[in-house]
Chains A and B, each alone.
Chain A
Amino acid sequence: MTKSQQQLLAEIQQQQAELRARLDAEQETLTHLAKRLWAQQESEKAKLSRELHDGVGQLLTGLTRRLHGVSGDYPELRELAELAEMALADVRQLSRLMSPTILEDLGLQPALKWLCRSLFEHEDMHCRCDINIQGQVPDDVAILLFRITQEALVNAIKHSEATEVSLSLQQHNQTLRLDVADNGQGYDKLSIEPGIGLTSMQDRATAFGATFNIRSRPAQGTHITMTVAL
Chain B
Amino acid sequence: MISLILADDHQLMRQGLSQVLNADPELAVIGECGDGQELINQALKLSPDVIVMDISMPKMSGLVAIDKLLAQRPDARILVLSMHNELEYIETMQQAGARGYMLKESSADELINAIKLVAAGKQVFPDQTTTDIHPGSKSRVNPLTALTRREREVFFLVAAGNTSRKIAELLNMSLKTAENHRSNIYKKLEVGSSAELIRLAGKAGLLE
B195 CB–A CB distance under 8 Å: yes
Contact for B91 among A104, A105, A110, CB less than 8 A: A110
Residue pair A105, B134 in contact (C-beta under 8 Å): no
Q: Which residue of B lies closest to A82 (CB)?
A: B195
Residue pair A123, B140 in contact (C-beta under 8 Å): yes
B133 to chain A, nearest CB (A): 9
The secondary-structure label for the interface of chain A is helix
Residue pair A86, B63 in contact (C-beta under 8 Å): no
A102 CB–B CB distance under 8 Å: yes
Residue pair A104, B61 in contact (C-beta under 8 Å): yes
Contact for B61 among A93, A105, A122, CB less than 8 A: A105
Contact for B194 among A79, A105, A106, CB less than 8 A: A79
Q: How large is the interface on B (under 10, 10 to 19, 20 to 34, 35 or more residues)?
A: 20 to 34
A56 to chain B, nearest CB (A): 16
Residue pair B195, A79 in contact (C-beta under 8 Å): yes
Residue pair A124, B141 in contact (C-beta under 8 Å): yes
Determine the chain A residues whose CB is within 8 A of the CB of B137 once the complex forms.
122
Contact for B89 among A79, A93, A105, A118, CB less than 8 A: A105
A73 CB–B CB distance under 8 Å: no
A108 to chain B, nearest CB (A): 11
A118 to B136, CA, bound (A): 11
Per-residue A-contact encoding for B179-196, CB less than 8 Å = 1, 0 else? 000000000000001111
A110 to B91, CA, bound (A): 9
A97 to chain B, nearest CB (A): 12
Of the stretches B41-49, B80-88, B142-150, the one at the interface is B80-88
Determine the chain B residues whose CB is within 8 A of the CB of A86 once the complex forms.
135, 195-196, 199
A113 CB–B CB distance under 8 Å: yes
B76 CB–A CB distance under 8 Å: no
A189 CB–B CB distance under 8 Å: no
A171 to chain B, nearest CB (A): 19
Determine the chain B residues whose CB is within 8 A of the CB of A93 once the complex forms.
134
A85 to B163, CA, bound (A): 20
Residue pair B88, A110 in contact (C-beta under 8 Å): yes
Q: Which residue of B lies closest to A157 (CB)?
A: B140
Given contacts A82-B195, A124-B138, contact A102 B86 (CB under 8 A): yes
Given contacts A82-B193, A86-B199, A122-B139, contact A114 B62 (CB under 8 A): no
A15 CB–B CB distance under 8 Å: no
Residue pair B139, A113 in contact (C-beta under 8 Å): no
Determine the chain B residues whose CB is within 8 A of the CB of A105 once the complex forms.
55-56, 61-63, 84, 89
Contact for B193 among A79, A101, A106, CB less than 8 A: A79
Interface positions of B from 43 to 70, Cβ below 8 Å from A: 55-56, 61-63
A197 to B19, CA, bound (A): 50
Per-residue B-contact encoding for A108-129, CB less than 8 Å = 1, 0 else? 0011011001100111100000
Extra contacts, 16 of them, besides A114-B86, A123-B140 (Cβ < 8 A), are A79-B194, A82-B196, A83-B195, A89-B135, A93-B134, A102-B86, A102-B88, A105-B55, A105-B62, A105-B63, A106-B88, A113-B88, A114-B88, A122-B134, A122-B136, A123-B138
Of the A-B pairs whose beta carbons lie under 8 Å apart in the complex, a sample of 26, sorted by A's number, is A76-B163, A79-B193, A79-B194, A80-B195, A82-B193, A89-B134, A93-B134, A101-B56, A101-B84, A102-B84, A105-B55, A105-B61, A105-B62, A105-B84, A106-B92, A107-B63, A111-B88, A114-B86, A114-B87, A117-B87, A118-B134, A122-B134, A122-B137, A122-B138, A123-B140, A124-B140
Q: Which residues of B contact A (CB under 8 A)?
A: 55-56, 61-63, 84, 86-89, 91-92, 134-141, 163, 193-196, 198-199
